[in-house]
Amino acid sequence: MWVADMDLPAPEAVIESLHKRLEHPYLGYGMVQPDFYESFSGWAKRRQGWNPVPEWLEFIPSVMAGLRLAVDEFSSPGDGVIVPSPVYHPFLEVPGHRGRKRVDWYLQFSHSDGQYHMDIDRLRELAELKENSVLLLCNPHNPLGKVWSPEELAELLEVCIENDVAVISDEIHADLVYSGGTFTPLIPVLREMDPAHPAVSIQSPSKTFNIPGIASALYISSSRDLLKRLRARAAAWGHELPNVLALEAATAAYRHGDGWMDETLALLESNRNVVTDFVDQTISPLGLEESPVPMGTYLYWLDLRQGERIKGIHGVDSYRNLKKQAGLWLSPGYQFSPEDSSHGSGFFRMNFACPRQLLNEGLSRLEKWLEE
- Cβ–Cβ contacts within 10 Å for residue 240, how many? 16
Tell me the pLDDT of the chain averaged across its residues: 97
Helix (H) or strand (E) holding 348: strand 347-351
Burial class (CB in 10 A: 0-12, 13-18, 19+), 35: middle
In this structure, the strands spanning 217-220 and 199-203 are antiparallel
Alpha helices in 257-355 (DSSP H): 258-278, 305-311, 315-325
CATH classification of the domain holding 74: 3.40.640.10
- Tens digit of pLDDT for each residue in 28-65? 999 999 999 999 999 999 999 999 999 999 999 999 99
Q: Is 1 part of any domain?
A: no
What mean pLDDT do residues 325-330 have? 97
**Boundaries of domain holding 294:** 259-371
User: Would you place residue 325 in the very low, low, confident or very high pLDDT band (cuts 50, 70, 90)?
Assistant: very high
Q: Is 4 part of any domain?
A: no
Q: Which amino acid is at 264?
A: T
- Tens digit of pLDDT for each residue in 227-238? 999 999 999 999
Q: Both 246 and 280 in a single domain?
A: no
Q: Both 341 and 289 in a single domain?
A: yes
Q: Both 207 and 275 in a single domain?
A: no
Choose the final residue of a domain: 227, 256, 285: 256
At 343 the pLDDT is: 83
Q: Both 283 and 326 in a single domain?
A: yes
Q: Tell me, rounded to whole angstroms, the distance of Cα 39 from its chain centroid.
A: 21
Per-residue DSSP letter, 310 = H
- Domain total in the chain: 2
Q: Is 316 part of any domain?
A: yes
Q: Both 144 and 190 in a single domain?
A: yes
Q: Has residue 314 got a pLDDT over 90?
A: no
At 372 the pLDDT is: 86
Q: Both 225 and 268 in a single domain?
A: no
More confident residue, 280 or 314: 280
In this prediction the pTM is 0.97
Q: Both 128 and 62 in a single domain?
A: yes
Q: Is 7 part of any domain?
A: no
Choose the final residue of a domain: 256, 290, 306: 256
At 256 the pLDDT is: 99
Q: Has residue 337 got a pLDDT over 90?
A: yes
- Tens digit of pLDDT for each residue in 144-187? 999 999 999 999 999 999 999 999 999 999 999 999 999 999 99
Q: Is 6 part of any domain?
A: no
- Tens digit of pLDDT for each residue in 101-131? 999 999 999 999 999 999 999 999 999 999 9
Q: Both 246 and 291 in a single domain?
A: no
In this structure, the strands spanning 299-303 and 108-110 are unpaired
Q: Both 295 and 247 in a single domain?
A: no
**What gap in Å lies between CA 170 and CA 60, rounded to an integer?**
13
At 342 the pLDDT is: 76
Q: Both 27 and 117 in a single domain?
A: yes
Pick from 52, 39, 69, 5: which is nearest to 248 by CA?
Answer: 39
Q: Both 242 and 311 in a single domain?
A: no
Asked if 346 contacts 313 with a C-beta cutoff of 8 angstroms, the reply is no
Pick from 10, 6, 4: which is nearest to 260 by CA?
Answer: 10
- Tens digit of pLDDT for each residue in 205-252? 999 999 999 999 999 999 999 999 999 999 999 998 999 999 999 999
Helix (H) or strand (E) holding 253: helix 244-256
At 339 the pLDDT is: 85
Q: What percent of the chain has pLDDT over 70?
A: 100
In the chain, helix, strand, coil percent, each to 5?
Answer: 50, 15, 35
**What gap in Å lies between CA 156 and CA 308, rounded to an integer?**
35
Q: Has residue 16 got a pLDDT over 90?
A: yes
CATH classification of the domain holding 346: 3.90.1150.10
Choose the final residue of a domain: 225, 256, 287: 256
**What gap in Å lies between CA 319 and CA 302, rounded to an integer?**
13
Q: Is 2 part of any domain?
A: no
What mean pLDDT do residues 331-357 have? 93
Q: Is 62 part of any domain?
A: yes
Q: Is 206 part of any domain?
A: yes
162: left (phi over 0), alpha (psi -120 to 50) or beta: alpha
What mean pLDDT do residues 71-82 have? 99
Q: Both 28 and 110 in a single domain?
A: yes
